[in-house]
Amino acid sequence: MAVSGSRPRAREAGVVLGTLPPGPENTITDVAGVRVGHVTLIEGDGPLVPGQGPVRTGVTVILPHEGNVFREKVPAGIFVLNGFGKCLGQEQIDELGVIESPIALTGTMNVGVVADGLVEHAIRTNPDIGITTSTVNPVVGECSDAYLNDMQGRHVRQEHVLEAIAAASPGLVAEGCVGAGTGMSLFGFKGGIGTASRRLPERLGGYTVGALVLGNFGRRDQLTIAGVPVGRELAGWRPDAAPEPPESGSVMVILATDAPMLDRALRRLARRAALGLARTGSIAGHGSGDYIIAFSNAVRIPHEPSERVLTLPHIVEDGALIDGLFQAAVEATEEAVINALFAATTMTGRDGHVRYALPLDETLAILRRAGVVR
Q: Is residue 7 in some structural domain?
A: no
In a domain, 6, yes or no: no
Q: Is 346 exposed, middle or buried (0-12, 13-18, 19+ CB in 10 A)?
A: middle
The yes-or-no answer on residue 288 being catalytic is yes
User: Could you say which of 101, 185, 282, 288 is catalytic?
Assistant: 288
Whether the CB-CB separation of 125 and 165 falls below 8 Å is answered with no
pLDDT per residue as tens digits for the range 129-174: 999 999 999 999 999 999 999 999 999 999 999 999 999 999 999 9
268-277 mean pLDDT: 98
| 127 part of a folded domain | yes
Of the candidates 101, 109, 165, which has an alpha carbon nearest to the alpha carbon of residue 138? 101
pLDDT mean over 240-261: 84
Burial of residue 328 (CB within 10 Å: 0-12, 13-18, 19+) is: buried
Q: Does 222 fall in a domain?
A: yes
In whole angstroms, give the CA distance from residue 190 to residue 135.
Answer: 38
Q: Of 226, 10, 249, 49, which is closest to residue 150 (Cα–Cα)?
A: 49
User: Model-level pTM?
Assistant: 0.96
* Residue 169 bears catalytic tag: no
239 pLDDT band, cuts 50/70/90, is confident
Q: Which of 4, 144, 250, 296 does the annotation list as catalytic?
A: 250
**CA geometry: angle 330, 332, 333, nearest 5 deg:** 65
Band (pLDDT 50/70/90 cuts) for residue 118 is very high
Residue 188 lies in a domain: yes
Averaged pLDDT, 120-128: 98
Q: Residue 153 sits in which domain range?
A: 28-367
Which CATH number does the domain housing residue 359 bear? 3.60.70.12
What per-residue confidence (pLDDT) applies to 249? 79
Give the residue among 240, 217, 258, 274 at the shortest CA–CA distance from 79: 274
Residue 15 covered by a domain? no
pLDDT of residue 1 exceeding 60, the answer is no
199 inside domain = yes
Is 4 catalytic? The answer is: no
Quick check: is 218 in a domain? yes
Query: What total of structural domains would you count in the chain?
Result: 1
Select which of 185, 282, 290, 296 is catalytic: 290
> Are 173 and 28 within 8 A, CB to CB?
yes
Compute φ and ψ for 336, nearest 5 degrees: -60, -40
